[in-house]
Amino acid sequence: MDCALCASDNQVESTAEVNFHFHGLQNIENPEILVFAKLWVCLDCGFSRFIIPQTDVALLGARTPRSETSTSNKVQASSSSVGGDSS
């Protein structure tokens, strides 16, 4: 699969430990959730994405604190981030 940011096919696949911490002081007592994800990193631009196993998605959904201001409580099974300098 090509990079979603730069369309390069120069990517590396690995596994990663992702530790979810819930933000805000109201969640200071909530323990983090450690999941093991499949990770892809583009070696040209640094764009990365990971896939979380469905069992861990269910765990995140069950343990995610609900916010009064939140309009959606869904946890996505796929997330992305841009690495490196964006300039």
Task: Please report, for the chain, the start and end positions of each structural domain, with discontinuous segments joined by +.
Answer: 11-65+72-81
Q: Which DSSP helix (H) or strand (E) runs through 61?
A: helix 54-63
Query: Which are the contacts of 2, defined by CB distance < 8 A and separation ≥ 6?
Result: 8, 9
**Tens digit of each residue's pLDDT, the chain (87 residues):** 899 999 999 999 999 999 988 888 888 888 889 999 999 999 999 999 999 999 999 988 888 766 544 444 444 444 444 444 443
Sign of the alpha-carbon dihedral angle for 57, 58, 64, 69: positive
How much is the pLDDT for 3? 95
CB atoms closer than 10 angstroms to residue 63:
14
